[in-house]
Amino acid sequence: MTNINLISWNVNGIRAVARKGFLDWFSNTKPDILCLQEIKAHVEQLPRKLKHVEGYHSYFNPAERKGYSGVATYSALKPKETSITMGIDKFDHEGRFQRFDFDDFILLNVYWPNGGMGEDRLQFKLDFYDAFLDYTNNLRDAGNNLVICGDLNTAHKPIDIARPKENEKVSGFMPIEREWIDKFLANGYIDTFRMFNDKPEQYTWWSYRTRARDRNVGWRLDYFFVNEEFKSNVVDSYILSDVMGSDHCPIGLKIEI
C-alpha cells in the first residue's frame, strides 16, 4: 500500500502568497499533490519559480478574465490524463475546474462560485453545483473512485460557521446552498474532515476586514470529498489552520492505495 498526501488551498492570489513564503512552505511540507484555488493569474504572468517547481508536474487553468478565479495543481505523480473542462461554456471560461486521472482515482480540483454578488451569481453558483453533481455521478457510474477538493464557498452546518444565526441570509450559509450539500452527500459522497473531527470552531476562512482570524470567527468553506466506495482508503483529513498567507488556510487529506 502507498500513502498519498494531498493539500488543497485557496491562496487568494498565487503571486500574493508567493511573496509571503509560499514556496518555502511548499518545499518544507512536500505534499504529493497540491491543489490551489483562486490563483488570480494567467500563466504568462507567473515567474518561472511558480511555473516550474522541482519534483512536480505543474498544471494551470486560469480564468479568461485577468486577476480572477483560476485553479492550479502541482503533482509529484504523473496523471494518465488531464482535463480543464466540465463541458459547459459558461462555467469553463471562469477557470474553476481541473481533472486528473490516476490509476486508482480521479482527482477534481474545484473552485466553486461565490454567490454573494447578487441573485444572478447565486443562481450561477447553484447551476454550477447541479452541473458538478451530474458530472461526478457520471464518473462514478463508470466505475471511478473520486477525490474532490477545493473551496466550496458554502459552510454546511451551524457547526461549520462561527455565527450561524447572523448569516442565514448571507450567501455561503443560505438554506438553499446548504441543502445542495445535503443532496451531494446523499448521493454518496463523504465530507472527509467530519470522519475524523466532530468539534466546533474548525474553520478554513476568516474575513480580512474584521481581523476575524485573531478571534477565530470563521467559516469552514474548504473540503475534501470522496465517494463512499473510496471511504476506506482515507487515512486522515485535517485543517492546517496555522498556515498563513491567505484569508483561507490549507486543508489536507491522506489516502492509502
Catalytic residues: 111, 151, 248
Helix count and strand count (H, E) for the chain: 8, 14
According to DSSP, residue 49 is labeled H
How many Å apart are CA 1 and CA 15, to the nearest integer? Answer: 36
14 touches 51 (CB < 8 A):
no
How many Å apart are CA 161 and CA 177, to the nearest integer? Answer: 14
99 touches 84 (CB < 8 A):
yes
Helix, strand and coil content of the chain, in percent to the nearest 5, comes to: 30, 25, 40
How many Å apart are CA 117 and CA 119, to the nearest integer? Answer: 7
67 touches 39 (CB < 8 A):
no
How many Å apart are CA 84 and CA 44, to the nearest integer? Answer: 18
Q: Which residues are part of a known binding site for Mg(2+)?
A: 10, 38, 151, 153, 247-248
How many Å apart are CA 107 and CA 11, to the nearest integer? Answer: 19
Q: Which residues are part of a known binding site?
A: 10, 38, 151, 153, 247-248
Phi and psi torsions of 238, nearest 5°: -155, 165
Q: What one-letter code names the amino acid at 14?
A: I
Closest CA to 105 of 38, 25, 192, 181: 192
